[in-house]
Amino acid sequence: MTYNHEKIWLSIDCLVFGYDVKDENLKLLLFERKVNPFAGSWSLIGGFVNVNEDICHSAERVLKTFTGLEDVFLEQLHTFGKTERDPGGRVVSILYWSLIKLDDIKKDIVNSHGARWFELDKLPNLILDHERMVNLGVSQLKKNAISSPIGFELLPEKFTIPQLLRLYEAIYNRSIDDRNFRKKILSTDILIRLNEKDKTNSKKGAYLYKFNEENYQRLKSEGYHLDIAIG
């Protein structure tokens, strides 16, 4: 016992955003809380930090436990520490967020673990300060989609420009001019066009692109800023 001070419960909460290119909707993963207080209510996925565990590993563990997912985008957002935030005791909670490219496989994995996807504008009431956490996450999403091409975390490896556009429209909840968007995003040299087309949405087919990891990292470090025109 090197330090002589009182200790505190430390927890992780995790905002899991998912995007499905098929139905073009942003979703949030929620879980039916099993422990009291508030057992049975909807909440973010979460759990306690163990003493012998890095907090980033706690977050990975929580995500894995509740969703089966691993090796996905997972980042710390903010720490919530009001004394009265949890009536069950003094718990300080570190909020993480994860961005998931939804496909049927991932949807199934998640469902089999008892969590459920909700559309962002159809969320149920949430326990504790979880609503504040959601708001923080949504505003971070908007902020990040401008200042770094974080949108890519939500799309499959190969995607079309129209798909990317519709993701941005879902994040900003408004329409965006497709011609200007295309020009802007292509001018960043962040996309690599493949010799493949996706024909699920049109007869002509849309070119598939992948993501230039190198240029992405460069832009990120140089402090890139993508302004998106209102359509």
Partner DNA sequence: ATATATAACCGTAAATTTAACGTTTAAATT
Partner DNA sequence: AATTTAAACGTTAAATTTACGGTTATATAT
Residues found near DNA in the complex (CB under 7 A)? 160-162, 177-180, 182-184, 187, 197, 199, 201-207, 227-230
Sign of dihedral through CA atoms 105, 109, 114, 117?
negative
Distance between CA atoms of residues 134 and 206, nearest Å: 34
For the record, the structure tokens of 65 come out as 């436990």
Q: Which is nearer to DNA, 133 or 185 (CB)?
A: 185
Site for a copy of itself (CB under 8 A): how many residues? 41
Looking at residue 52, the DSSP 8-state letter turns out to be T
Distance between CA atoms of residues 119 and 170, nearest Å: 11
Q: Of 24, 39, 40, 54, which lies in the binding site for a copy of itself, with binding defined by CB under 8 A?
A: 54
For the record, the structure tokens of 98 come out as 């994860």
**For 179, what's the count of Cα atoms within 13 Å in the CB-facing half-sphere?**
0
Using the rule CB under 8 A, is 40 a contact of a copy of itself? no
Enumerate residues 113-172 that contact a copy of itself by CB under 8 A.
142-143, 146-147
Quote the longest CA-to-CA distance of the chain: 70
Q: Which is nearer to a copy of itself, 71 or 227 (CB)?
A: 227
Q: Of 38, 48, 118, 224, which lies in the binding site for a copy of itself, with binding defined by CB under 8 A?
A: 48
184, interface contact from a copy of itself, DNA, none, CB < 5-8 Å by kind: DNA
Query: Between 84 and 123, how does the x/- string for binding to a copy of itself read (CB under 8 A)?
Result: ----xxxxx-x-----------------------------
CB-count burial class (<10 Å; 0-12, 13-18, 19+) for 45: buried
Looking at residue 50, the DSSP 8-state letter turns out to be P
Question: Dihedral, CA atoms, 149, 224, 138, 102, nearest 10 degrees?
Answer: 10
Using the rule CB under 8 A, is 56 a contact of a copy of itself? yes
Q: Of 3, 179, 204, 230, which lies in the binding site for a copy of itself, with binding defined by CB under 8 A?
A: 3
Give the footprint of a copy of itself on this chain (CB under 8 A): 1-3, 5-10, 35-37, 48-56, 58, 76, 78-79, 81-83, 88-92, 94, 142-143, 146-147, 223, 225, 227
